Amino acid sequence: MESIQAIKQRFGIIGNNEKLNRAIEKAIQVSPTDISVLVTGESGVGKESIPKIIHQLSHRKHGKYIAVNCGAIPEGTIDSELFGHEKGAFTGATSTRSGYFEVADGGTIFLDEVGELPLTTQVRLLRVLENGEFIKVGSSKVQKTNVRIVAATNVNMFEAIKKEKFREDLYYRLSTVEINIPPLRERQEDIHLLFRKFASDFALKYKMPTIKLEDDAVGVLLKFRWNGNIRQLRNVAEQISVLEQNRTISASTLSGYLPNASTNLPAVINNTKSESDFSNEREILYKVLFDMKSDLNDLKKLTMELMKSDNANEVQKDNEHLIKKIYGGKKEESYENDFEDLEVLPIAEKQESFTETTEDPSQDKYHFAEEIEEEETLSLHDKELELIKKSLERHNGKRKLAAAELGISERTLYRKIKQYDL
Print pLDDT tens along the chain (422 aa). Answer: 678 999 999 999 999 999 999 999 999 999 999 999 999 999 999 999 999 999 999 999 999 999 999 999 998 899 999 999 999 888 888 899 999 999 999 999 999 999 999 999 999 999 999 999 999 999 999 999 999 999 999 999 999 999 999 999 999 999 999 999 999 999 999 999 999 999 999 999 999 999 999 999 999 999 999 999 999 999 999 999 999 999 999 999 999 999 875 444 444 445 455 555 556 677 777 777 777 777 777 777 767 766 666 666 666 666 666 666 665 554 444 455 554 444 444 444 444 444 444 445 444 444 444 444 444 455 667 777 788 888 888 888 888 888 888 778 887 887 788 777 77
Residue pair 220/202 in contact by the 8 Å Cβ criterion: no
What are phi and psi for residue 167, nearest 5 degrees? -75, 130
DSSP string, 197-263: HHHHHHHHHHTSPPPEE-HHHHHHHHHS--TTHHHHHHHHHHHHHHH-SSSEE-HHHHHTTSTTTGG
Give domain 4-182's CATH number out of 3.40.50.300, 3.40.30.10, 1.10.486.10, 3.30.70.890.
3.40.50.300
Give domain 380-420's CATH number out of 1.10.3470, 1.10.10, 1.20.1250, 3.30.70.
1.10.10
What class is the 186-264 domain?
mainly alpha
